[in-house]
Structure 1
Amino acid sequence: MSHAKSADGVRIAYQTEGDGTPLILLAGQSNNHHWWDGVRDDFHTDYRTITFDYRGTGDSDKPDTPYSTTGFADDAIAVLDDLGIDRAAVYGTSMGGRVAQWLAARYPDRVHALVLGCTTPGDRHGVERGNDVRRSLADPDPAAARHALLELMYTPSYLATAPRPFTTLGDPTMPAFARRRHLVASSRHDAWDALPDIGVPTLVVHGTDDRFNPTANAALLADRIPGAQLRLIPGARHAYFEEFRSTAGPLVLEFLDSVRR
């Protein structure tokens, strides 16, 4: 693990594994790099994976100041700069997909391929989750709220047999203020006007049974980004990349390999 320093002086912890073409992996809201633990090795045949802990998570600094998806994208650039990497492929899922949109739109010379997984252009133009989902996640009983989140991430059959612990349910070390800051950053994301400016090859991936981030958002993104490809994974929920690893991993690798420079 190493640290980069952001433009505003925040220390951002990052991790690298493997060799080959740089591939930055962006995690979901209120999660650190462990989000990718279950699938990261799938990319190491030809790619050097780069992850980082968002500010407020993991081993990064945790300032009690406003966070944003544009700011997280700037932090990703600070990591690439610290590594001396000019260009990278970018794969973001959930909130990480929102961050990835800004990376490709604001730093087109730093991104050569883009994968957006289980994400949205923002609530203003996107399809919001249902009120029933919101209520289940806001259950005052922490155990019930955690169970609701698990069922939104994974299918019952997977939950019955999957190894524990799950690494996609949030960073347990985060202070409460940082969780709130992450929630606000994600909910205020709105890249709609910037999406047509994305000029790199783009793949949009989503599970057909995702209620946490409704599947309809995938088509909105694919239609808005010039030349974007869309792939839906039947039966998958929000954590499609982990539960449906045998489908999602090769799908993403095939796309990345087809546009690698």
Structure 2
Amino acid sequence: MPYVENEGARIYWNEAGSGPPVLLIMGLSFSHEMWFRVVPDLTQSYRVILHDNRGVGRSDAPRGPYTIAQMARDAAAVLSAAGVSQAHVIGASMGGMIAQELALQRPELVRSLLLGCTSHGGILARWPRFIRPKGPISLSDDKRRQRELALIPLLYADSTPLERIHEDLDVRCQCALSNRGFLNQFAGILFWTSYRRLPRIQAPTLVAHGAEDRLVPPENGKVLASRIPGARFRLIPGAGHILMTDQPEVCREIVLDFLKEVSNGNGHK
């Protein structure tokens, strides 16, 4: 299994497919396996590079707290290990924050940005609407599925079939996650913002957001698109925070159409 060492952590990564490189960056406490709904389509035309952020999955969970900037440097190290000088970058939730930071720190690495269900962070962001979980939330391994079930109202649209949600839970409950890793990633989110730096992003950018996102309200996506030069905003009806599960066909279309556009040199910038 390929690993790259960066700033005191071994970062797990892998790849599949061939073609223009696409880097996928997942969100808080989720491993790279949660891209399972889009990877099969992407690998038909692209070289897909995935990794586990520090603190989750097969990557190390060193002492923290971690920072979004540090996790962006981890992503850059993965691209270097893969021999990639530039990639399309897709980030979901916290992964979208990492993708923004990568585009700001290392603009030469980012061919395009697709930011899903994410935010610019900081005091100007819209934070979650309160929803009472269905039962107590625990980080302990033996109560992992109980925690995931309790978070369903916060993460998914009301209309999403429960069978599809349980497919996600099956994947997530197999992923290694420690209290240390979760809390250190969460600290990175709390102490990060890109708001004032967004106009410096140079890459063609598409921002996609679920209309029913309760965890990261869609107002955040609208602000991102308004502050990143030339960015476009796509609001997805019937989708909550986990876009790819709530509206899988729409998300595949959005991703593939955007990548085809920018790969052909027809980006909006």
SS of the counterpart of 2:69?
helix
Structure 1 residue aligned with 2:107: 108
Which residue is equivalent to 1:139?
Answer: 136
* Equivalent residues of 2:157, 2:212 under 8 A apart: no
**Which stretch has the larger CA shift, 194-203 or 159-168?**
159-168
The 1:56/1:144 distance shift into structure 2, 3 A limit, reads: closer
The residue aligned with 2:163 is 161
How far the C-alpha of 1:115 sits from its partner, in A, is 0.4
Number of the residue aligned with 2:42: 43
Q: Which runs of 5+ in 1 are unaligned?
A: none
| Residue 197 (str. 1) matches residue 200 (str. 2) | yes
- Residue by residue over 1:129-173, the C-alpha shift from the partner in whole angstroms, topping out at 9 and shown as x without a partner, is 12x23x538935767653341222223442333273415757752
How many residue pairs were aligned?
Answer: 258
- The aligned amino acid for 2:3 is H
Q: 1:207 aligns with which of 207, 210, 227?
A: 210
Distance 1:213 1:63 in 2: 27
Rounded Cα–Cα distance in structure 2 between residues aligned with 1:137 and 1:51: 32
Q: Which residue is 1:255 aligned to?
A: 258
* 1:5 alignment partner in structure 2: 5
Over 3 Å counting, the alpha-carbon distance change for 1:67 and 1:171 in structure 2 is: farther
Deviations 1:25-44 (A, max 9, x none): 01010111111112211211
Residue 181 of structure 1 pairs with residue 184 of structure 2: yes
Contact 1:31 / 1:171 at 8 angstroms: preserved in 2? no
Deviation at 1:49, TM superposition (A): 0.8
Most deviating of 170-179 and 220-229: 170-179
Moved more, 18-27 or 246-255: 246-255
Per-residue deviation at 1:46? Answer: 1.3
**Residue 23 of structure 1: CA displacement?**
0.3
Please say if residues 24 and 49 of structure 1, whose CA atoms lie closer than 8 Å, have aligned partners that are also in contact. yes
Q: TM-score, normalised by structure 1?
A: 0.91
TM-score by length of 2: 0.89
Closer, same or farther: CA 157–219 of 1 in aligned 2, 3 Å: closer
Instruction: Name the % identity.
Output: 35
Partner of 1:239: 242
Q: Tell me the distance in 1 between the aligned counterparts of 2:218 and 2:154.
A: 12
CA RMSD across the alignment: 2.1
